[in-house]
Structure 1
Amino acid sequence: MDTGRTPNKSIDKKTALAKAGSFCAYQERSQQEVRDKLYSYGLKTAEVEELISELIGANFLNEERFAIAYALGKFRIKKWGRLKIVAGLKNKRVPPGIINKALRQIDAGLYFDTLQTLLKKKNAAVKESNHLKKKQKLLQYAAAKGFEKDLIFDILNSSDLL
């Protein structure tokens, strides 16, 4: 299948820097995303690392800023829990210290309320008469969204959800 792109076409460092700058300016990126993009231009490892350093120096690339934007965006928009956010950030090769800092940006009260709202909506949608099976389906749903099981159990056991 022809995508219209010439694979592994090498470009010079100046052009690569300009393209990477545009890539980073469009939205927050992790270092690994930019590194992968630069490698796709056919650059060597030393050139890629030099360009990454230049992008960091020019504040186009900031791993902490990326992690916070990623965590807050996935929580607010997609209603992901902390576990799924951590997995996504690890997949982007963000260091653990930065991941923890990003997770601390999520308001605990809002996190709890979001999980409670998700469970209430799902409870209304689940057509199951057996109480235990319904509880299991709700637990599975919230766990798949990345919420912690102990928090899910707290809500399921303490509320009049079921």
Structure 2
Amino acid sequence: MKTKNIVIGGMLTGLAIMIPLIFGGTPLMIVIPPGFTATIASHLPSMLAMAISPGVAIMVGVGSALGFTLRVSAVVGARALTHSVFGGIGALAYENGMPFWAVLLITTPIHALSEALILLPFGFDFYQALVVTGVGTAIHHLIDSAITLTVYHSLVHLSILKKPSLQKRS
């Protein structure tokens, strides 16, 4: 892995940890008890990491889990750990030449279903897990995708991130 990618990954991991620590308890974090939270831009680090590599995306997801566990609860931290799942899958799709907007779109159901299913072992019923958290996560994912696309295009313009190579699509 390139040094530049490690540094950017470290910065994104730090941001993933800091977002819940800073935004928690403010109007920027919506809480619907017992297990759903939505913090504005909390998916941005994981989503941007998909444009770097699967390893970086997984690392940033672990950082997000740490931040949410420290600030909110182990249950919300477990939900955040699923960012490693959709991030890793999205990064593989991006590496294979899929446009970033499409990566964000195809990872929406993966993300929502992962966050919903992780609640079942904690004793949440299907309504709370699949409807409240699953649907809520899908909406939150799409809102954060819009924010992330804006940042992504700026970082590509500044040559910090690269667009996917079309040559890898074979």
Q: Same fold (TM over 0.5)?
A: no
Task: Name the TM-score, length of structure 1 as normaliser.
Answer: 0.27
Task: Name the TM-score, length of structure 2 as normaliser.
Answer: 0.26
Higher relative contact order (CA 8 A, sep 6+): 2
